[in-house]
Structure formats: C-alpha cells, structure tokens
C-alpha cells in the first residue's frame, strides 16, 4: 500500500531522480508512467490533486476528433484514432465503445457526413471500434428517441470511445506507483535548481506539513497544462507565453433526456463547433463551448451566455429538451491551446476554435522540457514523446517504450457492471471494506467503502478529492454531493486521523466549491452536522 508517508520516505531516500515530472494531469501522468516503465527513477509532483484541472473536466470521450477531420488535420485524427484503439485494449474497464448518431434534417446531410465518417473508419484501420452507416428516420429515432421528429430524415451512425477521465487519471497514478514511481499531490513546485545554466532539479513545498524540499534530477518535464508558462518563467522570467487558453462548458442532466445507449453529435452549431449529448454514468453530459480566457483559474466558472448557448442548441435537436431547472451540475475545463509561432518566436493570435489541438514539446536552453496541448486520447503518445526527449536531454540510457501494450491497473477482459466497473479487478476488494453496501446518498451511485478505498489506496486527502475525482458525485449531482459531504468528511477523518475541526473545515470548503457547479444557490451548510457521531 502506497501511503503519503511511505512515498515521502521514498522521495527523501532517493539521492537523485532520473526524471521529475511537474503536473499530475493527463500529460504528466502519461509521461511519468512512460518513464517509470522504462526503468527511470521518476518523481511526479502535483500542486493540488491529480487531475484537479482540465483532466477531470473533459467531454468524457476517447476520440479521433471528427471536427479535426473537417479541418483537414488528418495526421492528428489518425494518431488519435490509433491511440483510442490502444487505450481501449489497455483499459477495457475504463474505456468502451459508444455509438453516436449525427441527425440529418436536410436531404444532403446524411450522404455528406456519411462520406466523412467512412474516412474516419479508414483512418482507424484495424483498431476501429465499429463501422459507420446511414440510418433512416425510424432507425435514428430507435437509437435516440428524444431527437426532434419534425423534419428528421435520418442520420449517420458512427463509433467512438467513452471513458471516465478522473478515474483514468487515478488508474494511471496507481499503475505508475506499481512500477516503482514516486508521486505526491499537494506538493507545488516552487522553483528550479540549476548547476550553472542547466536544470538540476526542483524545489517544492508539502502543503500538508509546510516543509520545503530540494530534489535533484537529471531531467525535468513541465507538464502543468494551462499553467506551463508559470513554470517556464521559473526557468526564464522573460520567456514568451506559449498558450492562448479557452474554456469549455458542460451541463449534466438526468438520463431521461437521452434514454438510449447512443450519443448525439450535432456537427455544426452557430459558433462553428460540434455539440455532444453523451450518456455517462446514467446521466447525460451536454457540451461544449470554446471561449477565450485571459487568466487560467483553478476553478473556472461558466458564463451565462455559455449555458444559454448549450441549452438553446440542445433545444433545437432534442424533445423534450433540458432547461436550466433540469441541470444537476455545470463544470468547466480549460484547454491549453498553443499559440501559433512567428519567426521571431512570439506567439501569433488566432481564434481559439482554430488553434491546433496537437501536443507541443519544447526544450529551453537550460534543458527544461515543456509538454502541453493535446488531449486525453493521445496522453500515452504525449508521454512517449516527452520521455524520448527528456532521456535525450538528460543523457539517460536509451530504452524502448512499453506502454503500447501495457495493461493499466484493474485490467479485466470483461469488467464488472455497475458503479464499481471503473475499478476493474480491484472492485471485489472495495466490497470487502466497511460500508461496501451502504450508499453515501440516495441520489448518488456510490458506497461508503469507496471513500475508505480512496483514502487508503488512491492518495485522496480531502472531501473534494473523493467527491470530485475518486467518485464523480460533484459532476453528476452537485447538490446531492454537498449533502453527502459531512459523511465523507467523517469517513476520511477516521481513515486519515483528523479531528472534528478538520471535518467542519472540509465541509465548509467543499460546500463553497460545489456551489459553483450549481445554477442556483445550494442550501447553507450546517458545519455541526459534520462532527463525528458519539
């Protein structure tokens, strides 16, 4: 069992790491696992919690990107489709095939989109998840009964992958630890160590104890998502920013608004994006938007216009369509979009909707490797590329990548069904913990044993860690998650040896955070309810 204290001991007992990865999201976890499986001594440091930022706030799709195909970026689509197939093989408990219906209300729409999606099939090759085909009116409604019927001619069926982003992050973390890696959350990097002009390690602070540490390393990878420029400025205060971040908003509603097993893909909205309505954990995720932001916030908030846009667009295609009163949760992710580079190295300007979704890898004169851009689907390839580069920069022995066929923690050929399916082969051990059949809340699919498991095996440290990322309660039903918070705090306090005051602080902090996921204000928290029972 990897506890925080044992990981701290492993960290201080290692004179020098081969690789330090800064950032515990998709790109950082992918890089850390890639490095560890090659036998490099690897440390992963995360300032907050693993996947706290963008990596827990995606549209929940492992996909090639039909939109990028329309933009002509065939290379990106081909790479993403290959990685989609590999991830489906390596984590079948987390990634599954999902059928999508593209509704057609014009005579030309079915053949037009059908041709493009046939190309999608071809690019996927042997790793394709399913063959696209045209649907007539009745077949389209059979798969997606809530499509608007007036004017519906049919549609196109195609296949992509679906996953649980934060659970994949936790799975990668545990797989990394299983392969000898060392990881700490709540450990922000505060500076870079140098020998002469070259990077020689990092300094970081343990937020739980307030202690500061110096860690020597042969190579450092900056994989901090929308915050990569902050770390780059630690290396060079005058560096030109790389990113033009944008935010994508999603709303979550009840399953009744999309009762079938298929998703809806609206190929062109009024702002030129695609919009998805996706069944997920017995709910429906609808999104997303693409709004430029000047400042990357840890908890970004949806703008009223973005909510209106999503609901207005959904109402054009769905009957009944969700209204504001039907929204159970609103969440926002920030995209680390890389600016176009001019010949002098300065970033050009462009609409965020047309900036590249390719990942970018840059190495500074001091040897700091920065990895950013990309998307969850290509996390493994991003990690492979970053590890290849840092091994070259740091003079590490050349070793082959093993991750193309690496089964991730919990791998099962036929995963269990139900809410515990995301744990794969670890699910039975959860049922054996206290509270294995005791629900956290009547309107949530989770049991108390999952809280204990998160604390013991998944480095969960706070109520938010459990309700936002170890489970997905915050995204599925924000108000119910607030009501469950006192019991989660009590269970965590028991596991982590905290007192009643800690529980009160945790419930207050979580209630304040989760309020931002509601369209209406939640009921006031009652801190005394979080005190342990006599």
* Cα–Cα distance for residue pair 429/204, rounded to 1 Å: 34
For 137-146, b/e burial (b = at least 16 CB within 10 A) is eeebbebbeb
147-151, 226-230, 346-350, 357-361: least confident range: 346-350
* Cα–Cα distance for residue pair 66/112, rounded to 1 Å: 13
**Terminal Cα distance for the chain, rounded:** 30
* Cα–Cα distance for residue pair 56/167, rounded to 1 Å: 8
Is domain 84-161+244-335 in CATH 3.30.9.10, yes or no? yes
Q: What is the pTM of this model?
A: 0.94
* Cα–Cα distance for residue pair 231/351, rounded to 1 Å: 25
Mean pLDDT of 407-418: 92
110-114, 147-151, 455-459, 493-497: least confident range: 110-114
User: What pLDDT does residue 464 have?
Assistant: 98
- Contact indicator for 410, 425 with CB cutoff of 8 Å: yes
Which DSSP helix (H) or strand (E) runs through 96?
A: strand 95-104
User: What pLDDT does residue 346 have?
Assistant: 43
Longest dimension (CA), the chain: 70
Is the pLDDT confidence value at 158 over 50?
yes
User: What pLDDT does residue 120 have?
Assistant: 86
2-6, 254-258, 275-279: least confident range: 2-6
Give the residue among 414, 443, 419, 442 at the shortest CA–CA distance from 430: 419
User: What pLDDT does residue 341 have?
Assistant: 59
Percent of the chain with pLDDT over 90: 81
**119 pLDDT band (50/70/90 cuts)?**
confident
Residue-level length of the chain: 534
3-state SS class at 4: helix
Give the residue among 83, 45, 141 at the shortest CA–CA distance from 380: 83
In degrees, to the nearest 5, what angle opens at C-alpha 386 toward C-alphas 382 and 392?
150
User: What pLDDT does residue 72 have?
Assistant: 74
**Fold of the CATH domain 432-530:** Helicase, Ruva Protein; domain 3 (1.10.8)
User: What pLDDT does residue 233 have?
Assistant: 98
* Cα–Cα distance for residue pair 261/241, rounded to 1 Å: 43
* Cα–Cα distance for residue pair 154/86, rounded to 1 Å: 32
Is the pLDDT confidence value at 280 over 50?
yes
User: What pLDDT does residue 196 have?
Assistant: 95
Chain position carrying tokens 């049991």 = 447
Give the residue among 33, 119, 124 at the shortest CA–CA distance from 80: 124
Q: Structure tokens of 284? A: 């429906």
Tens of pLDDT, residues 314-337 = 999 999 999 999 999 999 999 998
Measured from the Cβ of residue 13, the count of other Cβ atoms closer than 10 Å reads 8
139-143, 291-295, 453-457: least confident range: 291-295
**520 pLDDT band (50/70/90 cuts)?**
low
User: What pLDDT does residue 276 have?
Assistant: 97
Which DSSP helix (H) or strand (E) runs through 199?
A: strand 198-205
Domain ranges in the chain are 4-54+167-240+341-399, 84-161+244-335, 432-530
* Averaged pLDDT of the chain: 92
User: What pLDDT does residue 534 have?
Assistant: 31
Computed from CA positions of residues 404, 408, 413, 414, in that sequence, does the dihedral angle turn out positive or negative? negative
3-state SS class at 49: coil
User: What pLDDT does residue 350 have?
Assistant: 42
Q: Any alpha helices (H) in 13-59, and if so which ranges?
A: 26-37
Say what angle helices 74-90 and 379-394 make with each other, to 10 degrees: 100
In order, the DSSP letters of 309-346 are HHHHHHHHHBSS---GGG--EEEEEEE-PBPPB-TTSP
CATH superfamily assigned to domain 4-54+167-240+341-399: FAD/NAD(P)-binding domain (3.50.50.60)
Mean pLDDT of 488-512: 98
User: What pLDDT does residue 349 have?
Assistant: 39
Tens of pLDDT, residues 10-25 = 999 999 999 999 999 9
Bridge partners, 159 (sequence order): 99
* Cα–Cα distance for residue pair 131/139, rounded to 1 Å: 16
User: What pLDDT does residue 189 have?
Assistant: 98
71-80, 151-160, 215-224, 339-348: least confident range: 339-348
Residue 273, φ and ψ in degrees, nearest 5: -90, 175
**484 to 63, 172, 253, 446: CA distances (angstroms):** 33, 27, 19, 10
Is the pLDDT confidence value at 521 over 60?
no
């Amino acid at each position: 069992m990897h506890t925080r204290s044992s990981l701290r001991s492993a960290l201080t007992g290692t004179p020098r790491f081969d690789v330090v990865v800064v950032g515990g999201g998709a790109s950082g976890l992918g890089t850390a696992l890639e490095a560890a499986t090659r036998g490099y001594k690897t440390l992963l440091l995360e300032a907050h919690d693993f996947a706290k930022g963008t990596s827990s706030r995606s549209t929940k799709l492992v996909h090639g990107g039909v939109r990028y195909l329309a933009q002509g970026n065939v290379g990106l689509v081909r790479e993403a489709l290959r990685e989609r197939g590999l991830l489906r093989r390596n984590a079948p408990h987390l990634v599954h095939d999902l059928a999508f219906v593209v509704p057609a209300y014009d005579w030309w729409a079915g053949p037009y989109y059908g041709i493009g999606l046939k190309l999608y099939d071809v690019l996927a090759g042997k790793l394709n998840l399913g063959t696209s085909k045209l649907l007539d009116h009745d077949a389209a409604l059979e798969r997606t009964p809530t499509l608007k019927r007036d004017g519906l001619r049919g549609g196109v069926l195609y296949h992509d992958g679906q996953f649980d982003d934060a659970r994949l992050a936790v799975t990668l973390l545990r797989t990394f630890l299983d392969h000898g890696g060392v990881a700490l959350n709540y450990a922000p990097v505060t500076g870079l160590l140098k020998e002469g002009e070259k990077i020689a390690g990092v300094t970081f602070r343990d937020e739980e104890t307030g202690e500061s540490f110096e860690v020597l390393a042969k190579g450092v990878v900056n994989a901090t998502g929308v915050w990569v420029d902050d770390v780059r400025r630690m290396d060079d205060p005058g560096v030109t920013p790389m990113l033009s971040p944008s935010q994508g908003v999603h709303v979550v509603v009840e399953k009744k608004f999309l009762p079938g097993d298929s998703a809806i893909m609206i190929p062109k909205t009024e702002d030129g994006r695609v919009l998805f309505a996706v069944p997920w954990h017995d709910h429906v995720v609808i999104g997303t938007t693409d709004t430029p932001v000047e400042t990357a916030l840890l908890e970004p908030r949806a703008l009223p216009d973005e909510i209106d846009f999503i609901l207005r667009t959904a109402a054009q295609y769905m009957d009944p369509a969700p209204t504001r009163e039907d929204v159970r949760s609103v969440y926002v992710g920030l995209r680390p979009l890389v600016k176009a580079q001019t010949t002098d190295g300065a970033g050009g300007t462009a609409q965020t909707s047309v900036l590249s979704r390719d990942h970018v890898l840059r190495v500074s004169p001091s040897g700091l490797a920065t990895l950013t851009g990309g998307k969850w689907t290509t996390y493994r390839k991003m990690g492979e590329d970053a590890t290849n580069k840092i091994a070259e920069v740091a003079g590490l022995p050349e070793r082959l990548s093993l991750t193309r066929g690496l089964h991730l923690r919990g791998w099962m050929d036929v995963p269990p069904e139900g809410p515990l399916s995301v744990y794969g082969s670890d699910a039975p051990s959860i049922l054996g913990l206290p509270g294995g059949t005791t629900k956290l809340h009547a309107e949530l699919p989770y049991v108390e044993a999952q809280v204990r498991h998160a604390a013991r095996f998944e480095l969960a440290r706070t109520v938010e860690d459990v309700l936002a990322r170890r489970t997905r309660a915050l995204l599925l039903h924000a108000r119910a998650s607030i009501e469950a918070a006192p019991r989660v705090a009590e269970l965590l306090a028991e596991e982590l040896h905290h007192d009643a005051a800690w529980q009160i602080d945790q419930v207050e902090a979580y209630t304040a955070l989760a309020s931002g996921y509601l369209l209406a204000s939640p009921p006031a928290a009652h801190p005394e309810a979080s005190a342990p029972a006599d």
